[in-house]
Amino acid sequence: MKKIVVLMAFVMSLFTVSAFADQGAKQTVPSVSKGYVKKDKAYWTRVWYKNNGYKKRNGRWVKAGVKSRSKRSTRKRISKNSYRPSRSSGIVARVDLSKQRMYVYDRGVLRHTWKVSTGRKGYGTPTGTWKIHRMHKEYYSKKYDNAPMPYAMFYYRGFAIHGTGSISRLGRPASHGCVRLHPKNAAKLFSMVRRKGGTVKVTW
């Protein structure tokens, strides 16, 4: 009788251990492998960039070895000079009517800032961009009492950049429409344009 009871207890213990083993196995098997990577469009995009030598920098893919420009430095360059002609433009004389100033650029680099006098009330100076097409070291106005216009550089019809004797009026509108400069500055611009060609850009 005792042998039968011991045998039954032994069999029951085997069933119990097997049940616990199955339950533990079910708990330890993960539902998703830890090394699983979802291979969607974003995944293959990353693979392509990495295989072609790109690195992610500031949230953007950049070619290895290329320095990225910071937004802050770009803002500084733009705010410092809102107009910047290309290096192939030669000499560019930009006239700001609101400030009565001329900004002279040589191959895209600002070289001079000079006071000017543009057209006073009733004698406007047209805005636009033109090439200087005619130049005279000595010239006299055919329209306004043979007035002297030294270092005249004509850019649009009868409008020209030239030197003036009314130096005290520079910095405010005073002309009949032309752009007046100090004679020394007019001579300097004349020499630059004669060697490299010139463009006039008049804006507000």
- Local structure of residue 119 (DSSP, 8 states): B
pLDDT at 77: 44
Task: Compute the distance between CA of residue 170 and CA of residue 167 in angstroms, rounded to an integer.
Answer: 5
Identify the sign of the CA torsion 79, 83, 86, 90: negative
- Local structure of residue 29 (DSSP, 8 states): S
Class of domain 83-203: mainly beta
Mind listing the pLDDT tens digit for each residue in 36-88? 666 677 788 888 878 888 888 777 778 776 665 554 444 444 343 446 676 66
Secondary element (H or E) of residue 4: helix 2-28
pLDDT by 10-residue block (mean), the chain, 204 residues: 62 58 51 61 80 80 65 42 65 97 96 98 96 97 94 97 97 97 98 96 96
Task: Compute the distance between CA of residue 98 and CA of residue 72 in angstroms, rounded to an integer.
Answer: 28
CA–CA–CA angle 104, 105, 111 (5° rounding)? 75
The catalytic position among 112, 133, 136, 162 is: 162
Q: What is the pTM of this model?
A: 0.60
Q: Which two tokens stand for residue 20?
A: 């616990």
The catalytic position among 133, 136, 176, 178 is: 178
Distance of CA 56 to the CA centre of its chain: 22
- Alpha helices (H) in 34-182, listed in sequence order: 41-51, 71-80
Whether 135 contacts 142, CB under 8 Å: no
Distance of CA 192 to the CA centre of its chain: 27
Residue 134 vs residues 77, 85, 116, 118, 121: alpha-carbon distances, Å = 34, 22, 20, 19, 27
Q: Which two tokens stand for residue 204?
A: 């507000």
162 is catalytic: yes
